Structure 1
Amino acid sequence: MGKLFVALDAGGDMRFIGEVERGAECGCVCVECGGPLVARQGMANDWHFAHEAAQERPECDTAAQRLLRRFVVQHVQGRLGAAGFNLPMVRQDVTLTRSLVHLREEVQWNAQILGDLQWALEEGEGAPVAFARLDTGVDLQVFVRPADAVPSSEPTDTDVARLAFVYRPMPASALRDRRLAEQHLESAGELVWEHHPDTHGYVRAARERLDERGYRIYSNWLSMVDAKRQALADAAAPAAPLFYGPSSPDSPDAAARHACAPGHAPNVNFTFYRLSDQEAWLLYLLERVGPSDWRTAQQKFYALAPYPGPFEGWTQAVPTAVGTVDEPMGIVRLAGFLDAVTYLSRRARVTRSHRNPAAFEGL
C-alpha cells in the first residue's frame, strides 16, 4: 500500500503534504474515509499523511491516487486552454517489409481543436477526460496516463482521434507542494498522438510510395539476376555481333529474326513475363534505323509483344501509362523501360531472360 501525499483540508480543498502544519495540527482528513490524518514530516522518511492510530486501508490510498489524477487533469486543462497553445504535429511511421526491402517513411500533418473542449473531470481511470472536434474533420478524445501505464487497446482504425497526456510518475520529492508537482508535470509530461484517422490520405499515399519503391528495388534486383544469368550463358556461347548497320560485319538481315517479337533489334535479350494462363509478354529493344550501336544510343525504344502470339484482349491488357498499342504491328510501344518492368514484375508468376524466345515455350 502506498503512502498518502495529498489530503483534504477543513474546507474540502486538496492539500499536499508540504503545505500543512506538522503532525495532527495539519487539520486534514482522508479523501476516502474522512478520518483525521497526521502529517509526518520527519528527516528520515518521505513526507506523507497517515491515519491516526495507523488505520491505513487500501481504498484510502486508491482515493488519494484519484485525487492526484484530478490534479494532473487540471494541469492538462490549463495547458490546453493557454492562449496561443497549439497541439503537436501528428506523426506516423509507415513501413514496408518484404523480401529484399525494409522501407520507412514518416508522415506528419497538423490537427488543431475547433471550439471548446468538453471536460469530464470525474471519469474513472482509463476513460477520456475531454472531448472536442478537430479541424481535420474528426472527433477527439483526450486521455491522461502515467508513462508506465498500458494504453487502452482501442482499435487503430477507428474514426475517433486519441490524444494522451503522458507523464512520468511523480516522485515523493515532487509531491511536497503544488508548485513542485506542477514543475514535474511541465518538464516530465507531453502530449502524444495515439491515433488519428487517415482522413486526408497521407498514410495511404505514403504506403503507395513505399510500394512503388519496393517494386522498383525488386525489379532492379530481378534485372541484375537475369543479367548475371545471361552473362554466364554468354560466356559459354560464341559472342554475337553487337553492331549493325551498313558498315557492321553482320547486317540486320543476317541476324536471327523472331516472328513473335515484331521489330526487335538484332542480337538482343528478350525478357519473358507470364502473368496468367492466358497472358504472357516479351519485353525487348526495338530496332533502330541506320548505323548505330544500341548499347550506347542516347535514347532507346522498347516494346511488349504478346507471347507466343496475340491473345484475346491483348490490346486492352496494358495501361496507357505503360505503353501505346500499335495494333498493325502487333506490339505495345513502351513509354519507359522501368515503368514497364515495374508493372510486369509485380504481376508476373514467371520471369525469364534469353536471346532466343523459343526458350520460353511451355513456361
Structure 2
Amino acid sequence: MGKLFLALDAAGAMRFIGEVERGADCGCHCPECGSPLVARQGMANDWHFAHDSAQERPECKAAAQRLLRRFVIDHLKSRTASAGFDLPVYRQEVTLVRSLVHLREEAQWDAQIVGELRWGDDESDHAPVARGRLDTGVELQVFVSLGEAAPAPEPLDAGVARLAFRVRPPTASFFRDRAAAEQHLQSAGELVWEHHPDTLGLVREAQERLEVRGYRIYSNWLSMVDAKRTSEADAAPAAALFYGPGSTDSADGWPRHACAPGHAPNVNFTFYRLGPQEAWLLYMLERAGPSDWRTAQQKFYALAPYPSPFEGWAQAIPRTVGLADEALGIFRLVGFLDAVTYLSRRARVTRSHRDPMAFGGL
C-alpha cells in the first residue's frame, strides 16, 4: 500500500476513502500519529487519505497496512461464523523416490472446527490470529497472509494444525468502499492448509502402499534381470548353472569379491552410503546345496559393511532389518523389503553395479 486508503473516524471506527466527505471534512485521523487527514477524491489520481501539510511518516503507512489486516481478520471472523461454513479438505502429497522408481500418492481427509475459534489481538504478520480445536483431535492455529508477505514459519510443534487465509492486495478501486473490499476478499481470499498432523494414519498408510508398489517394481526388475541372465546362461552350455556342495558344476569361473562375503556368483550389488564412515552393500547370498540361486523360490540376502567392517558395524543395523553374523562379517537380512526401506530412507548415495569395486570413492 503506497497510499492511505483506510483511516479512523472520531469514534475510532474504520472508514474507507469513498465513505467520507471530500477534503478536510472527512473527519478522519491517522491510526498511527493521530494527525487529521484530508480525503483526496480527485479525478486524476486514485482516491486516498493524506496528512494535512504532507507530514505523513513511513510508520503511518505501516499503520494503514495493519488497518487492512484488521479488516481482513474481521471478514474472516464473519466467514467462519456463518452458517454452513466448512474448512477445505486437507491434502498431502506422499512420495517415494528410489533408484528405479518415483511414485506419488495424495492422502486427504476432512477436518472441521469443533466449537468456536478464539481470536487474538496480536497484529504481527507471523502470529496466529485465531486458535481452536479440530474434530481430528488436534489444536488449530489460523494465520492471515496478505499479498507478498512472507509465509508463517514452520510450526515448532508438529502436532498443531495450521490454516492460512491468503489474499492478494486489491487494486485501489476496491478500497473506495467497504462493499467492494468485501467482494474482493470473498472472491480472491483462499483458505489453505499449511500443515495437519497425521492423526488418522492416512499418510503413513499411503507411504506403506508406495513402499509395496516400489518393492514390486524392484522385484519385477530383478526378475527380468534374472530371466535375462538365465536365458544367456542357457544359451552358453559352458556356463555354470548349479552351485553348492554335491553339484556337478561349479561357480569357480565367476569373480569373487572379498568385500561381499558369501555372495552368489554374478549377482548385482546395491551400494548405500549412509554417512562419512558408514556404507553398505546389499546382495544375494549363495545358496547351500544343489539349487540354482537364480530360479529358487526363496532367496536370501545379506548386508556387508563396505569396503570392510568398520568399528561398531555389528550394532549399526536394527534387529528388525537383519541379524549380525560376526564370523562372516555380514548381516543376514530378515526381509529384503525391510532392508531396502531402511537403507533408502537414510542413504545419501545409492548405486547399483555388478562390480562392487565401482563404488570406491562414493
* Alpha carbons of structure 1 residues 258 and 347: separation in structure 2 relative to 1, 3 Å: farther
Q: Amino acid of the residue matched to residue 211 of structure 2? A: D
Q: What is the CA distance between 1:21 and its match in structure 2?
A: 1.4
The answer for the alignment partner of 1:141 in structure 2 is 141
The answer for the alignment partner of 2:75 in structure 1 is 75
Cα separation, 2, equivalents of 1:234 and 1:159: 58
Matching of residue 216 in structure 1 with residue 219 in structure 2: no
Q: Amino acid of the residue matched to residue 22 of structure 1? A: R
Cα separation, 2, equivalents of 1:54 and 1:35: 11
Q: Amino acid of the residue matched to residue 50 of structure 1? A: A
The answer for the alignment partner of 2:191 in structure 1 is 191
Describe the SS at the equivalent of 2:230: helix
Contact 1:35 1:51 in 2 (8 A): yes
The answer for the alignment partner of 2:237 in structure 1 is 237
TM normalised by structure 1 equals: 0.69
Contact 2:94 2:106 in 1 (8 A): yes
The answer for the alignment partner of 1:200 in structure 2 is 200
Contact 1:7 1:49 in 2 (8 A): yes
Matching of residue 32 in structure 1 with residue 16 in structure 2: no
Q: What is the CA distance between 1:135 and its match in structure 2?
A: 1.0
Contact 2:126 2:153 in 1 (8 A): no
Q: Amino acid of the residue matched to residue 145 of structure 2? A: R
Describe the SS at the equivalent of 2:131: strand
The answer for the alignment partner of 2:255 in structure 1 is none
Q: What is the CA distance between 1:237 and its match in structure 2?
A: 2.8
Query: What aligned pairs does 1:46-57 form with structure 2 within 5 A after superposition?
Result: 46-57=46-57
Q: What is the CA distance between 1:234 and its match in structure 2?
A: 2.6
Q: What's the CA shift string for 1:258-304, capped at 9, x where partnerless?
A: 7689xxxxxxxx99799999x946499x9xxxxxxxxxxxxx99445
Query: What aligned pairs does 1:35-184 form with structure 2 within 5 A after superposition?
Result: 35-155=35-155, 158-184=158-184
Cα separation, 1, equivalents of 2:228 and 2:342: 22
Cα separation, 2, equivalents of 1:184 and 1:20: 20
Describe the SS at the equivalent of 1:136: coil
Cα separation, 2, equivalents of 1:119 and 1:306: 58
Unpaired runs of 5+ residues, structure 1, are 241-254, 262-269, 287-299, 308-316, 320-339, 354-363
Describe the SS at the equivalent of 1:84: coil
Cα separation, 1, equivalents of 2:14 and 2:288: 78
Q: What's the CA shift string for 1:292-333, capped at 9, x where partnerless?
A: xxxxxxxx99445899xxxxxxxxx999xxxxxxxxxxxxxx
* Alpha carbons of structure 1 residues 346 and 62: separation in structure 2 relative to 1, 3 Å: closer
Extract structure 1 runs of 4+ deviating beyond 4 A.
255-261, 270-277, 281-284, 303-307, 340-349
* Alpha carbons of structure 1 residues 344 and 193: separation in structure 2 relative to 1, 3 Å: closer
The answer for the alignment partner of 2:346 in structure 1 is none
Q: What is the CA distance between 1:20 and its match in structure 2?
A: 1.1
Cα separation, 1, equivalents of 2:105 and 2:203: 9
Tell me the percent identity: 60
Cα separation, 2, equivalents of 1:283 and 1:19: 91
Q: What is the CA distance between 1:149 and its match in structure 2?
A: 2.0
* Alpha carbons of structure 1 residues 352 and 158: separation in structure 2 relative to 1, 3 Å: closer
* Alpha carbons of structure 1 residues 283 and 222: separation in structure 2 relative to 1, 3 Å: farther
Q: What is the CA distance between 1:257 and its match in structure 2?
A: 9.6
* Alpha carbons of structure 1 residues 342 and 36: separation in structure 2 relative to 1, 3 Å: closer
Query: What aligned pairs does 1:179-328 form with structure 2 within 5 A after superposition?
Result: 179-237=179-237, 280=285, 282=287, 302-303=297-298
The answer for the alignment partner of 1:252 in structure 2 is none
Q: CA RMSD in A?
A: 4.0
Cα separation, 2, equivalents of 1:37 and 1:165: 31
Describe the SS at the equivalent of 1:237: coil
* Alpha carbons of structure 1 residues 345 and 20: separation in structure 2 relative to 1, 3 Å: closer
The answer for the alignment partner of 1:331 in structure 2 is none
Cα separation, 2, equivalents of 1:271 and 1:154: 49
* Alpha carbons of structure 1 residues 24 and 216: separation in structure 2 relative to 1, 3 Å: same
Contact 1:70 1:121 in 2 (8 A): no
* Alpha carbons of structure 1 residues 185 and 318: separation in structure 2 relative to 1, 3 Å: closer
Cα separation, 2, equivalents of 1:347 and 1:22: 71
* Alpha carbons of structure 1 residues 306 and 74: separation in structure 2 relative to 1, 3 Å: closer
Cα separation, 2, equivalents of 1:130 and 1:318: 44
* Alpha carbons of structure 1 residues 259 and 12: separation in structure 2 relative to 1, 3 Å: same
Cα separation, 2, equivalents of 1:306 and 1:99: 19
Contact 1:97 1:103 in 2 (8 A): yes
Matching of residue 14 in structure 1 with residue 14 in structure 2: yes
TM normalised by structure 2 equals: 0.69
Cα separation, 1, equivalents of 2:31 and 2:47: 18
Describe the SS at the equivalent of 1:224: helix
Contact 1:162 1:193 in 2 (8 A): yes
